[in-house]
Amino acid sequence: MANDPIIIIGAGQCGQKATETLRQQGYEGGLVLIGDEPHAPYQRPPLSKAFLKGEMSLERLMLKGPDYFDQFNIDARLSRWVESIDPAGRRVLLHGGESVAYSKLLLATGTRSRKIPVLPGLDLEGVHYMRTIADVQAIMQALKPETRIAIIGGGYIGLEVASALRSFKHDVTVIEGMERVLQRVVCPQLSDYFHRLHSSRGVAIHVNAVLEAIEGAGRVERIRLRDGQEIDTDMVLMAVGAEPVCELAEQAGLTIENGVSTDETCRTSDPNIYAAGDCSSFFSKRYQRHIRLESVQNAIDQGKHAAGAMLGSAEVYDPVPWFWSDQYEIKLQIAGLSQGYDRTEVEGDETEDAFAVRYFAGDRLLCVDAVNMPRAHMMARRELANLD
Amino acid sequence: MVRITFIQPDGSRREIEAEPGDSVMQAALAHNVEGITAECNGSAACATCHAYFQEDRLGGLDAMAEHENDMLDFAACERRSGSRLSCQVKVTDALDGMTVTLPEMQ
């Protein structure tokens, strides 16, 4: 069994980084990478930015050159998916019937677009999501110069898409159910800043606006809000967040806790199964609770970490989370997590579009959101790393 | 095609043929050159594509924006006069035959 391959389920940035790290750390055994998309591992962040705008080719989305799998002797199974995991027998069953044994298994299954379960009109032509290359290609194909688009959800993805589509002068409406955009992640001042930014670029933002139905004869013609307001549109983008892909782990009997639960070394409740990236809910010493991060930083760092752990490292994974978002010419860089803050301090000048918001719980710094202030961002990452 | 030679911290060298229009970071990744992480995929948000460009040929490179300049101060390895974020340097004929040395860490 020790000679069985390491299997990684999920060929995104995290799974890719794990394969690379295993080889760099001298692992020479079998290595199987299974991904349900037809593409080799690629970068997702440009999907809502440069790729959507047609400024970046499909080839440049790829994380590695075309000969990567051969060069590193990786058995890549693309367009394939796993039906089930048998943790006692240490095997995964692939769709189509093939069963493959593993020595260690890494779940890097990521997230999927959250779907509102009951919403009239969700199956109309013209309703889109933003998660995969195929999603974006479908949007790009459907977009005509005069296409009006309603984006459901004023989070990072929704606002990034609004920004990208405004550069082509599309008529863009953002529907946000809460009282302000980015409500779950930033303070009111920053929400206001981004709201004004988008309004000034011609985006119509509706807050406290709950989508009641998407309507049209066969294809999207309008959306209807709970307050009765109707907005004519040609396309609807559902950008109401993501949810971790946990079904395989759940069916295998692993502990689930807003994601596949792991300890601080990326190990799940089964000693031979690890989880990393967007799907994993790991115990963070820094925050003293399980956290699940949807970010490139976490996909890369935890992918590396899980690879080391599968080779026997007991090192603790406890990163300073960081994120970024590009909207128009504004670059927001975020260090830390702001949840639980009780006060903020601002440095710099908002009217100059260069400022940073520091979030505290008491005296303890939790997070820094830096707008066009790279220095403040990088300083914050150091500062947060040095807090005990 | 533009020839660029990457030098790893251990001194090993590899020449690639880069496509004009790509960034140096993209060219390196497309050829599986190790030593460049590029976490933010070219957004100049992370400083993990830091590289030392040949110092006597810096004039032929895209000019450095203030944002890049600030980020370079926080790269994991020391900043030198040839330091650039390779995602912000476009491959052009001016780079033909240039050497780019990679730092110990990103």
Q: Domain B2-101 in CATH: superfamily? A: Beta-grasp domain (3.10.20.30)
The answer, for A58 touching chain B at a CB cutoff of 8 Å, is no
- Measured distance CA(A178)–CA(A7) in Å, rounded: 41
The pTM of this model reads 0.95
| Nearest-angstrom CA–CA distance, B45 and A158 | 20
Task: State which residues of chain A have pLDDT below 70.
Answer: 1, 388
**ipTM of this predicted complex?**
0.90
pLDDT averaged over every residue in chain A: 96
Nearest residue to A295 via CA among A318, A277, A317, A276: A277
Question: Looking at residue A2, what is its pLDDT?
Answer: 79
CB pairs under 8 A between A and B: 57
Report pLDDT for A207.
98
Pairing of β B2-7 and β B98-101:
parallel
DSSP 8-state assignment for residue A299: H
pLDDT of residue A1: 67
A324 CB within 8 Å of a chain B CB: yes
Question: Average pLDDT by consecutive 10-residue portion of chain B (106 residues)?
Answer: 97 96 95 92 92 96 94 95 97 96 96
C-alpha–C-alpha distance, residues B72 and A148, integer Å = 41
- The topology (CATH level 3) of A127-240 is FAD/NAD(P)-binding domain (3.50.50)
Q: Which two tokens stand for residue A230?
A: 């109707």
Compare CB distances from B45 to A333, A375, A379 and report the shortest one's residue: A333
- Structural contact between residues A332 and A325, judged by C-beta atoms closer than 8 angstroms: yes
- Fill in the amino acid letter for A102: Y
Nearest CB partner across the interface for A64, out of B29, B41, B70: B29
Domain A329-385: assigned CATH number: 3.30.390.30
Find the helix or strand (DSSP H, E) in which A125 lies: none
| Closest-CA distance of chain A to residue B57, Å | 27
How far apart are the CA of B83 and the nearest CA of chain A, in angstroms?
17
Predicted confidence at residue B41, as pLDDT, reads 85
Distance, in Å, from the CA atom of B93 to the CA atom of B59, rounded to the nearest integer, reads 13
Q: Which two tokens stand for residue A115?
A: 């779907």
pLDDT digits 0-9 by tens, B74-102: 999 999 999 999 999 999 999 999 999 99
What's residue A156's pLDDT? 97
Same topology for domains A6-112+243-310 and A329-385, yes or no? no
Per-residue pLDDT of A73-121, as tens digits, reads: 999 999 999 999 999 999 999 999 999 999 999 999 999 999 998 899 9
End-to-end Cα distance, chain B: 27
- State how far Cα B34 lies from the chain centre: 12
Q: Identify the pLDDT of residue B50.
A: 98
DSSP state of A222: E
Note the pLDDT tens digit of each residue in A113-166. Answer: 999 988 999 999 999 999 999 999 999 999 999 999 999 999 999 999 999 999
* Domain ranges (residues) in chain A: 6-112+243-310, 127-240, 329-385
The answer to whether B61 touches B53, Cβ cutoff 8 Å, is yes
Residue A248 CB-density burial (10 A; 0-12 exposed, 13-18 middle, 19+ buried): buried
Which of A45, A297, A378 lies nearest to residue B41, judging by beta carbons? A45
- Highest CATH level, class, for A6-112+243-310: alpha beta
Distance from CA of B53 to the nearest CA of A (A): 22
